[in-house]
Structure 1
Amino acid sequence: MLRNILLATGLICATFSQADEQLKRLNLPAGYEINYFAKNVENARQLAVSKSGVVYAGSRRAGNVYALIDNNQDGIADRKIVLAQGLNMPSGLALKDGDLYVGEVHRIIRFKNIDKQLSKPNYEVVFDKLPSERHHGWKFIRFNDEGELLIPVGVPCNVCAEDAQFGRIFSLNLQTKQLTTIAQGVRNSVGFDINPQSGVLWFSDNGRDMMGDDIPPDEINRVSLNGEHFGFPYVHGGSVLDPEYGKDKTLADMQKYTAPKLALQAHVAPLGIHFYRGKQFAKNMHNKLLVAEHGSWNRSTKVGYRVMMATIKEGEITAYEPFITGFLDKEQTLGRPVAFAELADGSLLVSDDFANAIYRVRYNKK
C-alpha cells in the first residue's frame, strides 16, 4: 500500500522485473529504474569498464576476479568469465591503457591487454611491497590524472598507534615503484574518486568501533594538500577524541588535523564513492557524489545499507540525500552496496557483495 502511494505521488518511481521480489524492494527517485546487470557474481566489489564494454569485478572473501560481457547490448550480462581464483582478497581493480590492475592485500598484479586475453588470461606481479596484514588490508584502487596508481592501506586493528606503513593512501609510480603518501591519518578507506571538475581527490573513511552506537562518525574527506593528516588515531570525525590515543590532546591539537567535509552517522560504513560523469541521468545528477553506505555490523540497530548522493559546491557538501534505499528491511539485510562504475550510455552499475549482484540504474527521459 505504501509503495503504491509513493508511486502515485511521484516520490518514488522504479521499474522492476515483476518476477524478482528482491529487486522490487529497492526504491529510487522518480524517473529512475533499476535492474540486474549480473547475478551470481560472488562477493562483487570494485568495478571497472573497458572501452569495449567488458565489465570487470573484483571480490574480497571469494578471491575471484570476473569479466562480465553483454554480447547483445541489452544491459544484461550474458557471459561471466572467472579470470582468476584463489587470490588474496582481490577487491580493488582499475584499467589503464587496456591493462587490468588488481589490488590484492599484499601486491598489485596486472592482466595485460585484458579484453584480448579473456579466453586464456595470465597476470604478472607489478608491485609486491605492500603489507600482508589482512585486517583492513583489502584494497580499492584508481589511477590519478598523472597516471599513478592510488592505493590505500588500512590499519591492521580497530585502533592502534601510527605506523608509516598503514593508515594512508599512497600513490604508486609504476615505473620507479616509488610510493608517495597522499593522505595519512586514514583508518580504512575503501573508496575514492577525483572530482572531474576540480581535479581534487575525495575519499571515504570508516571510523573506529567499540565506542558505542553513535560515535565516532564515519567520514567523507577531501584532499587539499598531499600528505595532510586526517586525525586517526587521535581524533575521529574531526570532533571526537580517542579515549586512548587522544586523551592528552587539546582543542588546538585537534585543529592541526583535517576535519571531514561530511561527518556521517557512525557505522554506516561508506565504501565506494563516485562522481557521476555521464549524461543519461537527469541534469541535477551531473557531478553528484554517489556514496555506497555498506551498512553497520556492530550497532544495536542497523544503519546504512543504502546509496546516498552528495551535492558539492565550491568544495563543500551542501546536501546529502538518498538515491537507492531498500537494502535493509527492518533488521533484515537484503543487500550491501559497495562500488560504482558507468557504462558508455551513462547508466550506472552498483555492486552488492551480499546479494552477489551488480545492478544497472537507468533514467527514463519522459
Structure 2
Amino acid sequence: MILRRLILLSFVSFTGLAESLPLEKLTLPKGYNIEVYASDVKNARQMALSENGILFVGSRGGGVLTAVVDQDQDGKVDEVLQIAKDLTMPSGITIKDGDLYVAEVSRILKYADIEKNFRDLPAPEVVIDGLPDKKHHGWKYIDFGPDDWLYIPVGAPCNICETNKGESFDNPEFASILKYNLQTKERKWVAKGVRNSVGFDWHPQTQQMWFSDNGRDMMGDDIPPCEINRVDEVGAHYGYPYYHGGTIADPEFGTGKNAEDYVAPALNLGAHVAPLGIHFYHGDMFPAETQNTLFVAEHGSWNRTEKSGYKVMQAVLKNNEIVEYRPFIEGWLQADETSWGRPVAMLTMPDGSLLVSDDFANVIYRVTYQK
C-alpha cells in the first residue's frame, strides 16, 4: 500500500546521528573530505536526482522511498521525507523525463511528474509486470541507458543453480541483465550468465556499459572472485553457473564446460567483497585525472572467516582496460572485524561532489575535494 501522506522526520536526527558516526576513522586520498549529507535515510540504496535537485533514495529491506530536499542547493539538507512505504524491496530507482521509476522484485513502477507530486504521492503506474518474483537476489538496480531503454538485472534465485532447468527456476530471465523499450514493450538480453548484478554504468565517452557481479558462496574464503564486467557484445554469456572469474570451473556445474565459451571479467575482485554500485565520475570538482574513473562500492562480505570489502574503490582505466584498482574510502571495517557502515551506490552531483549511500548506517555521505 502506498503511503499517501508524508512522514516528516525530526531535524534533530540530522545532527544527532551525524555526530555519532566516527567519520574520523574514514581515510581518503589527500585533498578529499567526507561528511554526512543526510541521515535517517532508511536502508539507503540507489539514488536518483531530479532536475531541480531533489534526491530520491530507494531501500531494500526497508520497503520505503525517501526524498532528500536541499531547498537552496547549498549542500545542506533541509528535509528528509519518507514518501512511500510497504513496497517490495524498492532498491533500484531512476528518473526519466521527470518521472520516477522504482524497481520492486517482480515489477517496475512509475510515479509521474515526481517533483510536483512527491509531497502527496499518487498511486503509481505499473509499466513492467511479470518479472520473476523470487526474493533471493530479487532486488534490483535500474537505469535508462544511452539508447533510452530501461536496463533491469534479474539475479539468480539461489546461491548456485542452473536457471534454465528445474521446475522452480525454469525461467531464462534469471541470472541476466535485460533491457526494455517502454514505448514498444520490446525486451532484449544485454548479458546472460550474470549471478547477481546490483550496479552498472556507462562510460561517459565510449557509452559502453560496465556492471558488477557478486560471486557465489560456499567455495571457501578466497574463491571465487567477485567481478567487474564490460559489455563488448550484447547478449553474451558471462559464465554463471559454470565458470567464475573467467577460469574457475564450478564444482557442481562446470563439468564438461569450457572457459573459452564465456566472457572473462574485465577485473576480478576479492572473493565475497560484494561489489554493488559502480559509477563513472563525471564532475568538475575532483582532479582532472579522476574524470571517467570508475568508483566501486564494495558492500562487504557476510560469511567470510575474515571480513573483506566495506570500502569504496577506484578503478583507473586506460585504453578501455582497468590498469589500477586502489582504495578511495576505507575505515568502515575496523581491525577487530566490527563494521559501522556499508557503502552501496554513488552519484555525481551538479557541483561535482560525490554522494555515497550507506544502507547499514542509514545515511548519505557527501565527498568533496579541495586542493
- The TM-score, its normalising length taken from structure 2, stands at 0.91
Match of 2:325 in 1: 320
Residue identity matched to 1:361: V
Alignment of 1:91 with 2:99, yes or no, is no
Closer, same or farther: CA 117–214 of 1 in aligned 2, 3 Å: same
Query: How far has the Cα of 1:106 moved from its partner?
Result: 0.6
Query: How far has the Cα of 1:21 moved from its partner?
Result: 4.8
Match of 1:102 in 2: 102
Residue identity matched to 1:23: L
Match of 1:152 in 2: 153
Determine if contact 2:224/2:248 at 8 Å carries over to the other structure: yes
Match of 1:42 in 2: 42
CA–CA separation in structure 1 for the residues paired with 2:141 and 2:185? 18
CA–CA separation in structure 2 for the residues paired with 1:74 and 1:310? 30
Query: How far has the Cα of 1:76 moved from its partner?
Result: 2.3
Alignment of 1:213 with 2:221, yes or no, is yes
Residue identity matched to 1:355: A
Match of 2:183 in 1: 175
Alignment of 1:70 with 2:78, yes or no, is no
CA–CA separation in structure 2 for the residues paired with 1:106 and 1:297? 25
For residues 61-107 of structure 1, the C-alpha deviation after alignment (integer angstroms, 9 at most, x for no partner) is: 00001110012323122201212100000000011000010011010
Query: How far has the Cα of 1:244 moved from its partner?
Result: 0.8
Alignment of 1:310 with 2:315, yes or no, is yes
Residue identity matched to 2:208: V
Listed as ranges, the matches of 1:201-350 within 5 Å are 201-249=209-257, 253-330=258-335, 331-350=337-356
Query: How far has the Cα of 1:248 moved from its partner?
Result: 2.3
Secondary structure, counterpart of 1:24 in structure 2: helix
Determine if contact 1:92/1:141 at 8 Å carries over to the other structure: yes
Residues matched between the structures, number: 346
Q: CA RMSD in A?
A: 1.2
Determine if contact 1:18/1:24 at 8 Å carries over to the other structure: no
Match of 1:33 in 2: 33
Query: How far has the Cα of 1:269 moved from its partner?
Result: 0.3
Closer, same or farther: CA 329–119 of 1 in aligned 2, 3 Å: same
For residues 134-185 of structure 1, the C-alpha deviation after alignment (integer angstroms, 9 at most, x for no partner) is: 0000000010111110000000000000331200000011012222100000
Match of 1:3 in 2: none
CA–CA separation in structure 2 for the residues paired with 1:271 and 1:217? 14
Match of 1:131 in 2: 132
Determine if contact 2:281/2:291 at 8 Å carries over to the other structure: yes
Secondary structure, counterpart of 2:119 in structure 1: coil
Determine if contact 2:18/2:39 at 8 Å carries over to the other structure: no
For residues 24-63 of structure 1, the C-alpha deviation after alignment (integer angstroms, 9 at most, x for no partner) is: 1111100011111100111000001111000010000000
For residues 292-333 of structure 1, the C-alpha deviation after alignment (integer angstroms, 9 at most, x for no partner) is: 000000100000000000011112100000000011012001
Q: Where in structure 1 do 4 or more consecutive aligned residues deviate above 2 Å?
A: 17-21
CA–CA separation in structure 2 for the residues paired with 1:243 and 1:145? 38
Secondary structure, counterpart of 2:30 in structure 1: coil
Match of 2:14 in 1: none
For residues 188-238 of structure 1, the C-alpha deviation after alignment (integer angstroms, 9 at most, x for no partner) is: 000000011111100000000000000000000000011000000000010
Query: How far has the Cα of 1:20 moved from its partner?
Result: 4.7
Residue identity matched to 2:275: P
Determine if contact 2:40/2:80 at 8 Å carries over to the other structure: no
CA–CA separation in structure 2 for the residues paired with 1:21 and 1:146? 41
Query: How far has the Cα of 1:19 moved from its partner?
Result: 4.5
Secondary structure, counterpart of 1:361 in structure 2: strand
Query: How far has the Cα of 1:271 moved from its partner?
Result: 0.2
CA–CA separation in structure 1 for the residues paired with 2:347 and 2:368? 13
Secondary structure, counterpart of 1:328 in structure 2: coil
CA–CA separation in structure 1 for the residues paired with 2:105 and 2:226? 23
Could you tell me the percent identity over the aligned residues?
54
Alignment of 1:351 with 2:357, yes or no, is yes
Moved more, 261-270 or 17-26: 17-26
Determine if contact 2:100/2:113 at 8 Å carries over to the other structure: yes
CA–CA separation in structure 1 for the residues paired with 2:21 and 2:176? 41
CA–CA separation in structure 1 for the residues paired with 2:132 and 2:344? 23
Determine if contact 2:18/2:36 at 8 Å carries over to the other structure: no
Query: How far has the Cα of 1:352 moved from its partner?
Result: 0.2
Name stretches of at least 5 consecutive residues in structure 1 with no aligned partner. Answer: 1-16
CA–CA separation in structure 2 for the residues paired with 1:326 and 1:191? 22
Secondary structure, counterpart of 2:115 in structure 1: helix
CA–CA separation in structure 2 for the residues paired with 1:61 and 1:340? 19
CA–CA separation in structure 2 for the residues paired with 1:26 and 1:56? 25
Closer, same or farther: CA 102–19 of 1 in aligned 2, 3 Å: closer
CA–CA separation in structure 2 for the residues paired with 1:72 and 1:22? 28
- The TM-score, its normalising length taken from structure 1, stands at 0.93
